Structure 1
Amino acid sequence: MKPVLIVGAGPVGLTTALALAFYRVPFMLFEEDGSLSRDTKAGTILTRTLEAFRRYGVADDVLKASLRVDEIGDIERSSGKMRPSVETALLRDDTRYPFVVNLPQHHLEPILHRAIERRAPGATYLRHRVERFVQEADGVTATFDTPLGQRTFEGSYLLACDGGRSTIRGALNIAIEGETLSARTFLADVRADLDVATPRDYPYLAYFADPAEWMVLVRQPHCWRFLFPLTGDADEPTRQQLADKVRAFVGAVGDVEILNTISYRIHHRIASTWRVGRVFLMGDAAHLITPMWALGLNTGILDAISLPWRLAWVTRGWADDELLDGYGHEQYLVAAKGSGEMAEAARRYMLGEQGGVETMSGDRWANAMTRTMLGVRLDVGQNGEWSMVRTAQGRLCVGDRIPDAEVHCSEGRSVRLHQLVDDTFLCLHFADPRRRPALPANRPGLRHLLVSRRDAPFDSGLRHRSLLDVGDTLRARLGCSIDTTVLIRPDDHVAAILPMTSAIDPVHDRIVRPVRRDVQTSGACP
């Protein structure tokens, strides 16, 4: 099998490489610089990203280096009044990571790269700048400029993770939609004692709204991070001015050491096309979104959740090439109509402008689901049924991410649903094992399990294929009736909800080719 060629070793490229390694798809990772980025960039990793890191085998390493946060504060800067916080602890029944974490991007990238080196030694090529590529019927040939001269590599697919100024996107003449504002955001990493000498009881992640000058305060493992706006023509502050500004933000403090600074424009720019043949755009190459509310890096990781399993299924011969088209359709909506608009709404909210932010309404659980990216409903059926915002806790719908709920396997131990979905489609059949329902045979990439509050009798022939749902907790949480089948994709999203009597034959078709609009609507939410 020809390797998948990944261009760009930022967080999205690195995570995509780990995903391909997880799915046993060979890859080669190329980076034009001589080392990973050392710039001060994104600093908050949301819960959905942590779930991806768990699947790809790096969550523990990331968590060891991170500061965990169970409250996202919302403070009116002028008065110091606390508005309702986002309390991630409310999600404890939906995920094994009911928190977000603070970790600077330049600390995250080495963790991801070390994991790649353990899984695929020598698969990373630094100081390799892509110059051109040619698509063929069975692959892509790419030429790179290297310290040893030009080198050419053959691959099955080419993934452009090469940033907002993507060379690959430019070579394909893909148009960019959206705008870049004149306003800028300034980021400063600061070492100051806000704990002991001059204690400040701020949440580790707090947003200070103010019409004149909003501020975001992030407690990183090694420092405090301040983010605030700059007008388009303003000079960047000097280090002394920064130190004075820190004191103006948080009050009198002792010594203030400025560690790193960076400024960036406010963007909402989306590529019009995300796939051209065997070439795919990912991360900033596909969508450049200002990382307000941590919607920059984390939206890119959603791409690294969506595309790799599709490539695995197609390269294994388990699905048609059409399956790959769903990546661009689903993720475009999330980036263009979801994250991008939410980031701009958040910026306006911080300025105190009218109009409100949809994610700040609704119940507290729904707010937490939205802000941690657990509430994204994908347009699986390509019929417009999708949402970035979770408005309330309700029944499961096609396109929803299934909760990472706890059930009990036949061996007696508890197991999480997302673990059962790792590297497979999973059919959950909610039925009474005492009635001996017929389960379809498992196939490569498709597993069938029965779920019930009744433990499967030993003479039922179903015990090794059954999950115990104590008290019908999972079925009630999903809002499913008895004799219902729920088909879950390898990315944890629901592909279909069907009566068991109609589920046996259609299920396999829904895997090997995209779900058709005329048959997917069972279980879809209005």
Structure 2
Amino acid sequence: MSNKDRVIISGGGPVGLICALALARKGVPVTVFERFDSLKDDPRAATTHPATLELLNELGLEQEIREAGLVAPVFQFWDRISGELIAEFDHALLADETRFPYVVQCEQFKTASIALAHLRKEPNAEVFFEHEVVNISPNDDGVAVTVRSPEGETTHHARYLIGADGGRSTVRKAAGIAFEGFTFPEKFLVLTTPFDFQAHRGYSYRTYFADPEEWCNCFKVAADGPPGLWRTVFPADPDASEKDLFDEAAVQARLQKFFPKEGDYEVVHRNLYHVHQRVAKTFRLGRILLAGDSAHVNNPIGGMGLNGGIQDAANLAEKLAEVFLGRAPDSLLDLYDLQRRTVTTDFVQSQSIQNKKRLEAKEPEVRAQNFAELKGQAADPTKAKAFLMRSSMLDAQRRAAAKAAE
């Protein structure tokens, strides 16, 4: 770790590890510092879109991730009030656009674990758990990074520092980069159950329910299965306590309201979190770069957060390797900022906000218009394909590539 001629990455989640793997494969020495003592069994992001699968395939990870997860070619929109299936979209329409005309439902800790196993095999890569980046000091030829571990604080030097350390990023805050946007007033409540919604209700592995009072996302993950688990996501009163929201009677009432059945649901996991829509003012400040949640966060409807982070990682690694190895000028990193920040602000943020508005619309005429649009798109193969190009993030990836040509 004494050699400063390397890249340091703060954060050993899927974004940091995939970025490290891509850099190491290109011949760039890299060190990852992760504050936790191991990979966390994070119950959040699981959806991996076709655009991201293409990038993971380039690293030789797609098959392992697919085998660790569930292939989900279809997703659905339902109206909870009427119980009507509004629209169903099949990624098979993208078969002429991508080798991966499906979504893979693979929990992010599994993706991180797979990436870590590959990274361990790279001779110019190292990963240190229980090592938290607590301060940074940029200079003319690199960045001094202060790291706290069980042995105390130490200082390390790198030519470049990547902050992949989450929405509360120490790197972003220490660099003084603003995190612009807002926080939704409601919290998101996640209730996980082994109840098989596909077998008993006919729901696809990714299903969205519109409701003017309490929308819901319902999706399946492999977990330790088969048979797997189903996660249901609801908006929750911001003033309600976690104790009240997690109360068994309240949990059962919420699930029964949406999915009535005889007997109680087995609920194996409860989670509650705040949701933000924020983007860093810049993804690049000199030798400091941001990727993943440290650069942008959004609501999870549509599954675009982790995908955007992995896409950041691949884009950044490609450019940083060229700069680090002397094959391109340092200004190439400005293109990373332009491409990824443009995609994030113009596509991911707007699309994820629109996804939420579609589910929570209250006015009957707005709901009717939303449903008519979805039905029309699903019924027309050309319109359905265009819808899928956006939802799969293939359009966003191609837009980013077009920025290079511009």
TM-score by length of 1: 0.69
Deviates further, 105-114 or 19-28? 105-114
Which residue of 1 is the match for residue 301 of structure 2? 292
- The C-alpha deviation readout for 1:314-337, integer Å capped at 9, x for no partner, is 122221111110111121121122
- Distance across 2 between alignment mates of 1:304 and 1:48: 13
Which residue of 2 is the match for residue 227 of structure 1? 233
Which residue of 2 is the match for residue 368 of structure 1? 388
- Distance across 2 between alignment mates of 1:119 and 1:75: 46
Instruction: Indicate the structure whose relative CO is greater, using CA pairs within 8 Å and at least 6 residues apart.
Output: 2
CA offset at residue 113 of structure 1? 1.6
| Residue pair 1:184, 1:264 contacting (<8 A) in 2 also | yes
CA offset at residue 271 of structure 1? 1.1
- Distance across 2 between alignment mates of 1:336 and 1:282: 14
Cα distance change on mapping 1:228 and 1:95 into 2, 3 Å: same
CA offset at residue 378 of structure 1? 5.7
Specify the SS of the correspondent of 1:321. coil
| Residue pair 2:197, 2:203 contacting (<8 A) in 1 also | no
- How many residue pairs were aligned? 384
What is the identity, as a one-letter code, of the residue corresponding to 1:232?
P
| Residue pair 2:298, 2:305 contacting (<8 A) in 1 also | yes
Specify the SS of the correspondent of 2:277. strand
| Residue pair 2:191, 2:267 contacting (<8 A) in 1 also | yes
Q: Residues 138-287 of structure 1: matches in 2 within 5 Å?
A: 138-194=141-197, 199-221=200-222, 222-235=228-241, 236-252=245-261, 256-287=265-296
- Which of 104, 107, 130 lines up with 1:104 in the alignment? 107
Cα distance change on mapping 1:316 and 1:253 into 2, 3 Å: farther
Cα distance change on mapping 1:373 and 1:112 into 2, 3 Å: same
- Structure whose CA Rg is larger: 1
For structure 1, the residue ranges without an aligned partner over 5 or more in a row are 381-398, 401-493, 497-519, 521-526
- The C-alpha deviation readout for 1:331-380, integer Å capped at 9, x for no partner, is 112112221121111111001353859x9557111111111111115666
Specify the SS of the correspondent of 1:257. coil
Cα distance change on mapping 1:253 and 1:55 into 2, 3 Å: farther
- Which of 357, 360, 384 lines up with 1:348 in the alignment? 357
The answer on 1:314 being equivalent to 2:326 is: no
- Distance across 1 between alignment mates of 2:192 and 2:117: 25
CA offset at residue 22 of structure 1? 2.5
Specify the SS of the correspondent of 2:328. coil
| Residue pair 1:193, 1:253 contacting (<8 A) in 2 also | no
Cα distance change on mapping 1:194 and 1:349 into 2, 3 Å: closer
- Distance across 1 between alignment mates of 2:125 and 2:331: 32
CA offset at residue 300 of structure 1? 1.1
The answer on 1:323 being equivalent to 2:324 is: no
Which residue of 1 is the match for residue 61 of structure 2? 58
| Residue pair 2:198, 2:205 contacting (<8 A) in 1 also | no
What is the identity, as a one-letter code, of the residue corresponding to 1:172?
A
Identity %: 33
What is the identity, as a one-letter code, of the residue corresponding to 2:345?
A
- The C-alpha deviation readout for 1:144-203, integer Å capped at 9, x for no partner, is 11111222222121000111111111111112211112111111221224466xx22111
- Distance across 1 between alignment mates of 2:231 and 2:143: 42
Q: Residues 125-144 of structure 1: matches in 2 within 5 Å?
A: 125-144=128-147
| Residue pair 2:30, 2:124 contacting (<8 A) in 1 also | no
Cα distance change on mapping 1:60 and 1:272 into 2, 3 Å: same
Cα distance change on mapping 1:86 and 1:20 into 2, 3 Å: same
- Distance across 2 between alignment mates of 1:122 and 1:177: 33
Specify the SS of the correspondent of 1:39. coil
Aligned CA-pair RMSD: 2.3
TM-score by length of 2: 0.88
- Distance across 2 between alignment mates of 1:317 and 1:220: 43
- Distance across 2 between alignment mates of 1:181 and 1:46: 25
Specify the SS of the correspondent of 1:308. helix
Q: Which runs of 4+ in 1 moved over 3 A?
A: 193-196, 353-357, 359-362, 377-380
Which residue of 2 is the match for residue 386 of structure 1? none
What is the identity, as a one-letter code, of the residue corresponding to 2:388?
A
- Distance across 2 between alignment mates of 1:106 and 1:82: 32
| Residue pair 1:193, 1:254 contacting (<8 A) in 2 also | no
- The C-alpha deviation readout for 1:281-335, integer Å capped at 9, x for no partner, is 1111111211111021111112112111101111222211111101111211211
Deviates further, 232-241 or 337-346? 232-241
What is the identity, as a one-letter code, of the residue corresponding to 1:204?
Y
The answer on 1:46 being equivalent to 2:56 is: no
Deviates further, 322-331 or 362-371? 362-371
The answer on 1:114 being equivalent to 2:117 is: yes
Cα distance change on mapping 1:378 and 1:369 into 2, 3 Å: closer
- Distance across 2 between alignment mates of 1:23 and 1:379: 25
Specify the SS of the correspondent of 1:293. coil
- Distance across 2 between alignment mates of 1:86 and 1:264: 29
Deviates further, 40-49 or 232-241? 232-241
What is the identity, as a one-letter code, of the residue corresponding to 2:73?
D
CA offset at residue 39 of structure 1? 2.8
The answer on 1:338 being equivalent to 2:347 is: yes
What is the identity, as a one-letter code, of the residue corresponding to 2:38?
S
